[in-house]
Amino acid sequence: MIQFRNVTKVYPNGLCALSNVNFTIANGEFVFIVGASGAGKTTLIKLLLKEIEPTSGSIIVDDVDLSSLRRKEIPYYRRKLGVVFQDFRLLPDRTAYENVAFAMEIVGASPKEIRRRVPAVLSMVGLGSKAHAYPHQLSGGEQQRVALARALVNNPSILIADEPTGNLDPVTAMEIMKIINLI
Ligand SMILES: Nc1ncnc2c1ncn2[C@@H]1O[C@H](COP(=O)(O)OP(=O)(O)OP(=O)(O)O)[C@@H](O)[C@H]1O
């Protein structure tokens, strides 16, 4: 469960990006955050990733107040989160398989586990046959599916997608949303 309680974020230059925000997202909920440009959506995601700190208020994820996390606990907290960005953020010199495997390598998964899990997740997003293609050999929708596989491969309990279809045409965007909806 994710809870924002009276969260306010004022950036160092004095700009108030979020003012007294309260909401709860229950386990299993699929939530869209919609708002005008500059409304504070990215700020909200950065707070959840603990990339930035709230000026006041608390953010609670699975009963843990993020302000109580020590610096060395943050990487473990982030393993709970799978993140997909609008611009995919794939490593250009690695294949689809290697991009997804890399996410497992950095959390210390065994080579055996990686060999088992990566093809399964690539198949889940419909890319089983493109595992050895490099990002530049893939369409935008395919690249986003690799990014989705990478976000999912470590079984995160929370999937965060920041405008995951923003760079895609409407038909491809719909395909991505269908996959996310099935997860
Ligand atoms: N590091 C920063 N320092 C100062 N102000 C910032 C900073 N980051 C964002 N802002 C401001 O905070 C407000 C909210 O920005 P944010 O990026 O969260 O909006 P958004 O809803 O994600 O917008 P968009 O849909 O355009 O991406 C904006 O007015 C922005 O200019």
Question: Closest Cα partner for 153 from 94, 91, 109, 111?
Answer: 109
Over residues 21-66, the pLDDT tens digits come to 999 999 889 898 988 999 999 999 999 999 999 999 999 999 999 9
Q: Of 48, 78, 108, which marks where a domain is finished?
A: 78
Do 95 and 73 lie in one domain? The reply is: no
The number of angstroms, rounded, from the C-alpha of 95 to the middle of its chain's C-alpha atoms is: 20
How much is the pTM? 0.87
Q: How far is the CA of 162 from the centre of ligand 1 (A)?
A: 13
38 lines ligand 1 (CB under 6 A): yes
Instruction: Verify that 68 and 93 share a domain, yes or no.
Output: no
CB of 15 closer than 6 A to ligand 1? yes
- Nearby residues of 182 by Cβ (< 8 Å), 6 or more positions away: none
18, β-bridge pairs: 9
- Structural domains counted in the chain: 2
Nearest CA to ligand 1 atom 26: 37
| Pocket-testing residue among 11, 51, 165, ligand 1, by greatest number of atoms within 8 A of Cβ | 11
Give the range of the structural domain holding residue 163, as residue numbers without chain letter: 88-183
Nearest CA to ligand 1 atom 25: 37
Q: What percent of the chain has pLDDT over 70?
A: 100
130-87-162-142 Cα dihedral, nearest 10 degrees: -20
- Tell me: the pLDDT tens digits for 60-90? 999 999 999 999 999 999 999 999 988 889 9
Q: Which amino acid is at 182?
A: L
In a shared domain, residues 27 and 110 = no
Average confidence score pLDDT of the chain:
94
Predicted local confidence at residue 112, as pLDDT: 97
In a shared domain, residues 128 and 174? yes
- In the reported structure, the alpha carbon of residue 79 is separated from the centroid of ligand 1 by a whole-number distance in angstroms of 25
> Which carries the bigger pLDDT value, residue 168 or residue 148?
148
The answer to whether residues 182 and 92 belong to one domain is yes
- Give the span between the Cα atoms of 183 and 168, in whole angstroms: 20
CATH number of the domain that residue 155 is part of: 3.40.50.300
